[in-house]
């Protein structure tokens, strides 16, 4: 298996931000959920932006709207193989 580090530049709406903020707030009520694995010590802002990125990138692979990528994925850079 090979891996690559990739950096995305994404755009998001105020509505997407608000939904992600509400999701993070809800997750705070459930500290034992799998959601929290690997997220120790992250700020609310980091959690919100991470959730937005996850939703956008997941949607990209599951969304059949051909203009989706051009609206929200503004840039992608690969930083070589990490093997």
Domain coordinates in residue numbering, the chain: 4-81
DSSP state letters, 19-46: HHHHHHHHHHT-TTSGGGTT-TT--HHH
- What pLDDT band is residue 80 in, cutting at 50, 70 and 90? low
Assess whether pLDDT exceeds 60 at residue 82.
no
62-78: pLDDT as tens digits? 666 667 666 777 777 77
For residue 36, count other CB atoms closer than 10 A to its CB: 14
13-61: pLDDT as tens digits? 899 999 999 999 999 999 999 999 999 899 999 999 999 998 888 876 6
d(Cα 51, Cα 75) in Å, to the nearest integer? 18
Write down the pLDDT at residue 2: 76
| Contact status, residue 42 vs residue 50, Cβ threshold 8 Å | yes
């Amino acid at each position: 298996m090979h891996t690559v580090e990739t950096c995305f530049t994404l755009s998001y709406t105020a509505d997407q931000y608000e939904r992600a903020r509400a999701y993070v707030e809800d997750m705070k009520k459930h500290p034992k959920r799998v959601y929290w694995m690997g997220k120790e010590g992250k700020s609310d802002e980091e959690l919100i932006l991470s959730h937005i990125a996850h939703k956008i990138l997941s949607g990209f692979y599951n969304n059949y709207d051909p203009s989706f990528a051009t609206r929200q994925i503004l840039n992608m850079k690969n930083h070589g193989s990490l093997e």
